[in-house]
């Protein structure tokens, strides 16, 4: 899993008064060249979530690979009460489609993969 997310960076954006306005999570993934990537995980999360799940989904099957940049924006107002940071995961839409079409026992479950975790580190957070 982590080989697909070789680079993850967290930027904290503060306003004129020094308060956090948002976090920008910048990623670069090494994926099949013919991929189309989509992202999920922005917006509000439940207050009992420790690490916000940010997911990059790709659908490529090429033997050639290329770098894909995906940025996530987490607004300060959307951060849950217990949220400590983010977990960036990369998933193949092709593998998920195959899993739905075949017996689930034939496919290996990747839900437990840890991805890449980055914690918010700022004294302005609760």
How is the beta sheet containing 65-75 ordered, strand by strand? 7-14, 20-32, 65-75
Higher pLDDT pick, 10 / 107: 10
Residue 4, C-beta contacts closer than 8 angstroms, at least 6 positions apart: 29, 30, 31, 90
Mean pLDDT (the chain, rounded) = 84
How is the beta sheet containing 85-92 ordered, strand by strand? 37-40, 51-58, 85-92, 116-119
Q: What is the pTM of this model?
A: 0.80
Calculate what percentage of the chain has a pLDDT beyond 70: 78
pLDDT in tens, 68-107: 999 999 999 999 999 999 999 999 887 655 555 555 444 3
Q: Is the pLDDT confidence value at 44 over 50?
A: yes
């Amino acid at each position: 899993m982590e080989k697909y997310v070789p680079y993850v960076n967290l930027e904290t954006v503060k306003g004129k008064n020094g308060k956090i306005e948002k976090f920008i999570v910048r990623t670069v993934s090494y994926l099949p060249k013919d991929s189309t990537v989509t992202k999920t995980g922005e917006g509000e999360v439940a207050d009992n979530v420790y690490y916000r799940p940010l997911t990059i989904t790709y659908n490529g099957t090429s033997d050639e690979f290329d770098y894909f940049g995906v940025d996530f924006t987490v607004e300060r107002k959307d951060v849950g009460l217990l949220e400590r940071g983010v977990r960036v995961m990369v998933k193949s839409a092709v593998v998920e489609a195959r899993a739905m079409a075949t017996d689930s026992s034939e496919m290996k479950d990747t839900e437990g993969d840890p991805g890449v975790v980055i914690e918010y580190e700022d004294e302005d957070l609760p």
